[in-house]
C-alpha cells in the first residue's frame, strides 16, 4: 500500500511530487510575492573592473602612482602583485551622473547610462575565489567546486516553464568558458534541468529544427512513439539514471520545439528599428545584440531563465585587462553596452520589464592597483553588479567598497545573498526550495544567504 506522496513519486518520475511540493510551499510561503516571471542573467565572463565601471573612486585618481597607505592591503593576496608594494591606478574613464537619480556610471557605458534610473547597483559584492573557474562556479552555483546545480537549474526545477514547447533554461555563450559547461549544469538535480544551449549569435540558433525531407509529421510521431516505448522499457531497470531520463525527455522536447522554436528564434521578424537598438547590423555589436534580442523573444514566450555569457572567446574577453586594461575594457564595453541598453529599452517598451528580472554580473572585479604597465589583476574582495526590472527601484547604489575600492565595507553581499534575492523576486523562498541528495535536503544557498536584499531593491 502506497501513500499519496509515494504514488505521486512513482507517477511521472516524480514530477507529480514536485507539483505537490510546490503547492504545499505556496501555502507555507504566501508572504513571498513573485515579482519576476522570468530572469535574464548577463554574465560578463573574465572579470570586469568595478573601479572603471560602476564604482567611482576619486581617491584612486588623486593618489595615482602612489602605494597604498598604511594597512589597507593587509591580508589581501593575488598571484601576480603585492598589495604592499604595488601602486594605485586611477581609472582612465570619467564617471558622470545620469538620469533624474544622478547615479554615477563610467563613460565606458554611454548606452546603459541612459537607463540609470532603471538599474540598482550593488557595490559591495565580495567572494573568496581568486581564479576564474572557481569564481564562476561560485557566482553561478554557490560553490567554488563543480558538481552543484547552477541558479538556472534551480529556477527550472522550482518554477518550470510557461511554454512546454521550449526549454525552461536556455544558455548562450560566444565560446568555450574558463569553467567549462559546469557553470550551467544541473549537478545533483535531475539532468532534465540542465541548461539547453542555443547558438545565440547565429542566424540558426537551434540546429536541425526542420524534419528531414520526405518525413511527414505522422511518420516522425510514430517513430518517436516506438523509440519512447523502447526507452521506457530500458529505463524501467535504471530509474536512478537521471541522464537517461533527461535524454528520453529531450526527444519529446525536440519534437515539440519543431512547432514553436522556429518562430521564437527567427529575429528577422523584428522590425529594422528594433534590431538597430540592439546593435544588429554593426560589426562589434552584431553577435551579442542577437543574443540579447533572442533572450527577449524567449522570455516573451515563457522561457523561465536565460543565461547569456559575454566574453568567452579566448583572447577577446574581459580578462585581457591583465596587460591591456584600456584596450580590453573599451572593446568589450563597446560589444555589450548597446545590446544591453537595447534589451532594457525593448523590455520596457513592451511592458515586459516589470515581470522580467535582468541581472548583470561578473565573477569578480579588478584590483585598484596596477598590474604591469597597463593592467589590473583579479579582485574578489569587493566588486559590483546590478539588477533591473521586476519592480526594482532603480537609480540607486547599495553598499560600498572602501575609498580605494579594495574591500566591501558597507552592507557586504556575498553570492548566497544574491541567489536568495533572485529566488525571492521570482516568488521562491530559498530556504524551502530543496532537493534530497545524499540523505540531506540540499538547497542553492546551502546554509547561507540569510541576508537577502529584496526589500531594498523594491524600495
* Residue 99 pLDDT greater than 80, yes or no: yes
pTM for this entry: 0.87
What average pLDDT does the segment 129-142 reach? 96
Q: How far is 368 from 371, CA to CA, in rounded Å?
A: 9
Helix (H) or strand (E) holding 141: helix 132-141
pLDDT of residue 34: 92
Structure confidence at residue 247 as a pLDDT band (50, 70, 90): low
In Å, the largest CA–CA distance within the chain is 76
* Residue 439 pLDDT greater than 90, yes or no: yes
The conformational region for residue 383 under phi > 0 = left, psi -120 to 50 = alpha, else beta, is beta
Which span out of 72-76, 111-115, 127-131, 213-217 was modeled with the highest average pLDDT?
111-115
Is 114 or 1 the better-scoring residue by pLDDT?
Answer: 114
62 exposure class (CB count in 10 Å sphere: 0-12, 13-18, 19+): exposed
pLDDT of residue 450: 74
Poorest-pLDDT segment among 21-25, 61-65, 250-254: 21-25
pLDDT of residue 243: 67
* Residue 30 pLDDT greater than 50, yes or no: no
Q: How far is 295 from 288, CA to CA, in rounded Å?
A: 10
Is 86 or 222 the better-scoring residue by pLDDT?
Answer: 86
Residue the block writes with cell 566591501: 408
pLDDT of residue 203: 65
What average pLDDT does the segment 63-88 reach? 80
* Residue 400 pLDDT greater than 60, yes or no: yes
Cell of 320: 585581457
Residue 248 φ then ψ, to 5°: -65, -45
Cite the beta strand spans of 242-337 per DSSP E: 305-310
Poorest-pLDDT segment among 57-71, 106-120, 383-397: 57-71
Structure confidence at residue 210 as a pLDDT band (50, 70, 90): low
pLDDT of residue 225: 65
Q: How far is 134 from 148, CA to CA, in rounded Å?
A: 12
pLDDT of residue 316: 81
Structure confidence at residue 11 as a pLDDT band (50, 70, 90): very low
**Strand, helix or coil for residue 8:** helix
**Strand, helix or coil for residue 438:** coil
Smallest CA-to-CA distance from 300 within 292, 288, 308, 311 is with: 292
* Residue 260 pLDDT greater than 80, yes or no: no
What average pLDDT does the segment 151-178 reach? 92
pLDDT of residue 250: 64
Exposure letters 150-170 (e unless 16+ CB within 10 A, then b): bbbbbbbbbbbbebebbbbbb
Structure confidence at residue 176 as a pLDDT band (50, 70, 90): confident
Q: How far is 330 from 34, CA to CA, in rounded Å?
A: 37
Poorest-pLDDT segment among 277-286, 293-302, 447-456: 447-456
What average pLDDT does the segment 318-337 reach? 96
Pick the CATH number of 35-203+268-457 from 3.40.720, 3.30.980, 1.25.10, 3.40.50: 3.40.720
Quickly list DSSP for 32-88.
-----SEEEEEEETT---GGGTT---HHHHHTTTSBPPTTTTTT---SS--TTTPBB
| Interstrand relation of 383-389 and 400-401 (parallel, antiparallel or unpaired) | unpaired
* Residue 22 pLDDT greater than 50, yes or no: no
Cell of 337: 553596452
Poorest-pLDDT segment among 80-89, 95-104, 200-209: 200-209
pLDDT of residue 48: 98
pLDDT of residue 297: 97
Cite the beta strand spans of 178-304 per DSSP E: 196-197
| Interstrand relation of 396-398 and 103-106 (parallel, antiparallel or unpaired) | unpaired
> Angle 415-425/151-159 helices, nearest 10 degrees?
30
pLDDT of residue 251: 55
Structure confidence at residue 312 as a pLDDT band (50, 70, 90): confident
CB–CB of 153/194 below 8 Å?
A: yes
What average pLDDT does the segment 15-30 reach? 43
* Residue 54 pLDDT greater than 50, yes or no: yes
* Residue 18 pLDDT greater than 70, yes or no: no
**Strand, helix or coil for residue 273:** helix
Poorest-pLDDT segment among 150-159, 249-258, 302-311, 408-417: 249-258
pLDDT of residue 335: 97
pLDDT of residue 13: 46
Q: How far is 307 from 175, CA to CA, in rounded Å?
A: 14
Residue the block writes with cell 533624474: 100
Cell of 404: 580605494
pLDDT of residue 206: 74
Query: What percentage of the chain has pLDDT greater than the value 90?
Result: 66
**Strand, helix or coil for residue 91:** coil
Average pLDDT over the chain, rounded to an integer: 86
Ranges of each domain in the chain: 1-30, 35-203+268-457, 207-264
pLDDT of residue 17: 46
Long-range residue pairs from 108-114, CB within 8 A, at least 24 positions apart, any chain: 108/52, 108/53, 108/329, 108/330, 108/333, 108/337, 109/53, 109/333, 109/337, 110/337, 111/337, 111/338, 111/340, 111/341, 111/342, 112/337, 112/340, 112/341, 112/344, 114/341
pLDDT of residue 60: 96
What average pLDDT does the segment 63-72 reach? 86
* Residue 432 pLDDT greater than 90, yes or no: yes
* Residue 66 pLDDT greater than 50, yes or no: yes
Amino acid at each position: 500500500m502506497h501513500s499519496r506522496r509515494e504514488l505521486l513519486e512513482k507517477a511521472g518520475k516524480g514530477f507529480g511530487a514536485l507539483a505537490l511540493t510546490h503547492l504545499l510551499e505556496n501555502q507555507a510561503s504566501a508572504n513571498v510575492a513573485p515579482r519576476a516571471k522570468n530572469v535574464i542573467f548577463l554574465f560578463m565572463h573574465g572579470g570586469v573592473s568595478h573601479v572603471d565601471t560602476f564604482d567611482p573612486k576619486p581617491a584612486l585618481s588623486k593618489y595615482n602612482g602612489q602605494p597604498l597607505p598604511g594597512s589597507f592591503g593587509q591580508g589581501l593576496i593575488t598571484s601576480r602583485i603585492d598589495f604592499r608594494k604595488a601602486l594605485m591606478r586611477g581609472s582612465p574613464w570619467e564617471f558622470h551622473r545620469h538620469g533624474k537619480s544622478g547615479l554615477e556610471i563610467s563613460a565606458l557605458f554611454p548606452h546603459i547610462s541612459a537607463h540609470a534610473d532603471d538599474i540598482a547597483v550593488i557595490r559591495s559584492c565580495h567572494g573568496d575565489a581568486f581564479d576564474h573557474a572557481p569564481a564562476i562556479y561560485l557566482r553561478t552555483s554557490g560553490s567554488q567546486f563543480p558538481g552543484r546545480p547552477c541558479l538556472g537549474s534551480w529556477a527550472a526545477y522550482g518554477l518550470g516553464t510557461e511554454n512546454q514547447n521550449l526549454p525552461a533554461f536556455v544558455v548562450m555563450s560566444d565560446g568555450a568558458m574558463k569553467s567549462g559547461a559546469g557553470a550551467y549544469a544541473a549537478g545533483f538535480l535531475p539532468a532534465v534541468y540542465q541548461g539547453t544551449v542555443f547558438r545565440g549569435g547565429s542566424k540558426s540558433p537551434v540546429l536541425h529544427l526542420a524534419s528531414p525531407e520526405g518525413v511527414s509529421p505522422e511518420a516522425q510521431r510514430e517513430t518517436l512513439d516506438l523509440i519512447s516505448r523502447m526507452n521506457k522499457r530500458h529505463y524501467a531497470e535504471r530509474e536512478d539514471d537521471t541522464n537517461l531520463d533527461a535524454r528520453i525527455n529531450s526527444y519529446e522536447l525536440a519534437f515539440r520545439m519543431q512547432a514553436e522554436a522556429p518562430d521564437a528564434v527567427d529575429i528577422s521578424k523584428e522590425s529594422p528599428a528594433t534590431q538597430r537598438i540592439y546593435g544588429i547590423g554593426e560589426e562589434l555589436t552584431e553577435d551579442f545584440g542577437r543574443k540579447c534580442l533572442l533572450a527577449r523573444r524567449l522570455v516573451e514566450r515563457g522561457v523561465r531563465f536565460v543565461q547569456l555569457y559575454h566574453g568567452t572567446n579566448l583572447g577577446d574577453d574581459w580578462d585581457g585587462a591583465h596587460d591591456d586594461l584600456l584596450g580590453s575594457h573599451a572593446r568589450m564595453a563597446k560589444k555589450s553596452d548597446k545590446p544591453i541598453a537595447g534589451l532594457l529599452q525593448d523590455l520596457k517598451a513592451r511592458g515586459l520589464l516589470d515581470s522580467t528580472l535582468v541581472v548583470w554580473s561578473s565573477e569578480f572585479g579588478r584590483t585598484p592597483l596596477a598590474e604591469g604597465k597597463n593592467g589590473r589583476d583579479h579582485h574578489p574582495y569587493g566588486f559590483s553588479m546590478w539588477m533591473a526590472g521586476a519592480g526594482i527601484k532603480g537609480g540607486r547604489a547599495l553598499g560600498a567598497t572602501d575609498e580605494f575600492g579594495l574591500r566591501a565595507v558597507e552592507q557586504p553581499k556575498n553570492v548566497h545573498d544574491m541567489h536568495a534575492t533572485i529566488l525571492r523576486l521570482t516568488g521562491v523562498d530559498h530556504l524551502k526550495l530543496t532537493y534530497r541528495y545524499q540523505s540531506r535536503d540540499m538547497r542553492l544557498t546551502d546554509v547561507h544567504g540569510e541576508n537577502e536584499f529584496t526589500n531594498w531593491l523594491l524600495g
